[in-house]
C-alpha cells in the first residue's frame, strides 16, 4: 500500500481582526519592485472601509475579481497575461473573497511561472514550476478552497482543477470578521458545501482516521450552526470558518462522493454554482446518504431556504448525455462513494433518472 504524501498550506493565521497583520506578513515576501496583486471579490468593489485596510505599497494593485461566473481558464489567462505585460513578474497574488476568488488567485499565481495556457494544466500533477507567492483570505466559508490542493476551473473541454503540489496557498488568513453578514441563502449554500464534504467523506470507502478526525469535527460545527443557532450569530462565523478548514482537510485525504459527481455534471452544462448545485442534488440523495439528507432537509426548513426544483425539466437527450458523461468521468468520487465495483452500482440509466428528478 502506498500512502499519499500531500503538500499543505505553509502558514496559517487565525483570529478575529487578524487581517490587520497582512502588511507585516507580506513585507518579507516582497521581491524588489515587483508588486503584490490583490484579487478582490467584486462584492467588495465599493467597500471603501475594507479596501482602505488592504496594505498597498509601491506599485501594488487591487484587481477586482468578477465572480459572476465560477472561474474560467480564459479569465485566468487574461489576468496572468495582463500582469506579465505590465510588470514582468509580481511578488505575489493575494485572494480576498470566496472559493471562486481563491481558486482564481491560485491559478493566476501558477500561470505567472508556467508557460502556455491555463487549460493545459487542468488535471493531476501537470504543473511544472513553483507558483509565485500566494495568499488566501476567505470572506465566505465552506468550500475548503483555502486548504485544498486544487483550484477548480472551467476550461474549453472540462471542469477540472489544477491539482498539484504547487497549488496550495503559502499562507492563509482566517479572520471570522470578514465573513460577517454574507446573505442568508449564499451563506447556506456555501456552508452546505462544507456539510456535504463531511457527509461524503465520512460515508466514503476512502475514509481513514486522519479524514475522520477532521470530518467529524467539521460536521459537528455545521450541525451546531445550522440546527441550533442563528446563521448570523457571531459565533457561527467562527465555527463556519473552522468547519470549512477542517472539512477541506478531511477530503484532502479522502474524497467527495455522489452529490459532487452529479453536481459537476449540472454545473458543466448549466453553469449552476457549486454550493447551490450541491444542495439541488443532495436534496434527492436519500438513497445514498439517508441520515445526511434527512438532516439537510431539517436545516433547509429551519432557515427557510429555497432549493430550486425542476432545473432539468426542459433538457434534451443530448444535454442529459453531456451531464452523464461529465459525472461518470469523476471516477475517484464514485469509487469513494460506492466502492471499487462502483460501475456495477452506477450506470447511465440510474444517473439519467437522478438528473430527471433535480
User: What gap in Å lies between CA 11 and CA 280, rounded to an integer?
Assistant: 35
Nearer to ligand NAD, 189 or 289 (CB): 189
User: What gap in Å lies between CA 175 and CA 18, rounded to an integer?
Assistant: 6
Q: Is 43 in the site for ligand NAD (CB under 6 A)?
A: yes
Select from 100, 211, 255, 263 the one that contacts ligand NAD (CB under 6 A). Answer: 100
Nearer to Zn ion, 36 or 299 (CB): 299
Q: CB–CB of 65/97 below 8 Å?
A: yes
Q: Is 240 in the site for ligand NAD (CB under 6 A)?
A: no
Q: Which stretch binds Zn ion (CB under 5 A): 5-13, 127-135, 187-195, 210-218?
A: 187-195
User: What gap in Å lies between CA 262 and CA 76, rounded to an integer?
Assistant: 25
Binding track, positions 111-140, relative to Zn ion; x by CB under 5 A? ------------------------------
Q: Is 41 in the site for ligand NAD (CB under 6 A)?
A: yes
Alpha-helical (H) ranges within the chain are 22-26, 48-51, 73-87, 99-111, 184-202, 209-223, 234-252, 258-270, 274-282, 290-302, 317-328, 331-338, 342-345, 348-357
Q: Is 193 in the site for Zn ion (CB under 5 A)?
A: yes
Cα Dmax for the chain: 60
* # of chain residues touching ligand NAD (CB under 6 A): 29
CB of 323 to ligand NAD, least distance (A): 16
Q: How many CB atoms lie within 10 A of CB 84?
A: 13
Contacts of 347 (CB under 8 A, 6+ apart): none
Select from 18, 39, 67, 95 the one that contacts ligand NAD (CB under 6 A). Answer: 67
For residue 266, the cross-strand partners are none
Contacts of 29 (CB under 8 A, 6+ apart): 36, 91, 92, 133, 170
Binding track, positions 268-307, relative to ligand NAD; x by CB under 6 A? ------xx--------------------------------
* # of chain residues touching Zn ion (CB under 5 A): 1
Q: Is 237 in the site for Zn ion (CB under 5 A)?
A: no
Strands 92-97 and 159-163: unpaired
SS3 242: helix
Q: Which stretch binds Zn ion (CB under 5 A): 23-31, 193-201, 284-292, 319-327?
A: 193-201
Nearer to ligand NAD, 92 or 277 (CB): 277
Q: CB–CB of 226/188 below 8 Å?
A: yes
Cα dist from 309 to 58, 79, 277, 312, 357, whole Å: 50, 36, 11, 8, 8
Q: Which does 148 bind (CB under 5 to 8 A by kind): ligand NAD, Zn ion, none?
A: ligand NAD
Q: Is 122 in the site for ligand NAD (CB under 6 A)?
A: no
Q: Is 39 in the site for ligand NAD (CB under 6 A)?
A: no
CB of 193 to ligand NAD, least distance (A): 6
Considering only residues 138-177, where is the footprint of ligand NAD by CB under 6 A? 139-140, 142-145, 148, 150-152
Which residues of this chain interact with Zn ion, rule CB under 5 A? 193
Amino acid at each position: 500500500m502506498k500512502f499519499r504524501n500531500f503538500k499543505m498550506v505553509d502558514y496559517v493565521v487565525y483570529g478575529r481582526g487578524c487581517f490587520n497583520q497582512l502588511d507585516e506578513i507580506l513585507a518579507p515576501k516582497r521581491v524588489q519592485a515587483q508588486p503584490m496583486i490583490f484579487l478582490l471579490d467584486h462584492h467588495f468593489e465599493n467597500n471603501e472601509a475594507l479596501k482602505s485596510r488592504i496594505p498597498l505599497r509601491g506599485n501594488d494593485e487591487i484587481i477586482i475579481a468578477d465572480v459572476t461566473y465560477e472561474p474560467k481558464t480564459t479569465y485566468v489567462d487574461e489576468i496572468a497575461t495582463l500582469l506579465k505585460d505590465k510588470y514582468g513578474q509580481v511578488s505575489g497574488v493575494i485572494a480576498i473573497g470566496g472559493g471562486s476568488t481563491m481558486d482564481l488567485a491560485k491559478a493566476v499565481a501558477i500561470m505567472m511561472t508556467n508557460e502556455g495556457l491555463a487549460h493545459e494544466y487542468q488535471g493531476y500533477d501537470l504543473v511544472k514550476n513553483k507558483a509565485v507567492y500566494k495568499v488566501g483570505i476567505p470572506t465566505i466559508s465552506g468550500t475548503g478552497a483555502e486548504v485544498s490542493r486544487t483550484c477548480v476551473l472551467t476550461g474549453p473541454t472540462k471542469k477540472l482543477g489544477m491539482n498539484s503540489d504547487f497549488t496550495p496557498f503559502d499562507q492563509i488568513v482566517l479572520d471570522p470578521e470578514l465573513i460577517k453578514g454574507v446573505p442568508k441563502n449564499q451563506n447556506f449554500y456555501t456552508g452546505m458545501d462544507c456539510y456535504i464534504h463531511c457527509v461524503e467523506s465520512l460515508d466514503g470507502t476512502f475514509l481513514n482516521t486522519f479524514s475522520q478526525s477532521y470530518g467529524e469535527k467539521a460536521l459537528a460545527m455545521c450541525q451546531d450552526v445550522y440546527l441550533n443557532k442563528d446563521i448570523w450569530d457571531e459565533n457561527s462565523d467562527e465555527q463556519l470558518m473552522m468547519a470549512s478548514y477542517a472539512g477541506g482537510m478531511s477530503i484532502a485525504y479522502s474524497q467527495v462522493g455522489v452529490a459532487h459527481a452529479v453536481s459537476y455534471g449540472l454545473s458543466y452544462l448549466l453553469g449552476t454554482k457549486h454550493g447551490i448545485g450541491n444542495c439541488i442534488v443532495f436534496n434527492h440523495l436519500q438513497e445514498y446518504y439517508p441520515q445526511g439528507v434527512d438532516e439537510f432537509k431539517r436545516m433547509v426548513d429551519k432557515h427557510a431556504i429555497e432549493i430550486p426544483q425542476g432545473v432539468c425539466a426542459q433538457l434534451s437527450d443530448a444535454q442529459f448525455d453531456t451531464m452523464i458523461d461529465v459525472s461518470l468521468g469523476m471516477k475517484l468520487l464514485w469509487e469513494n462513494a460506492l466502492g471499487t465495483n462502483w460501475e456495477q452500482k452506477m450506470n447511465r440509466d440510474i444517473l439519467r433518472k437522478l438528473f430527471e428528478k433535480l
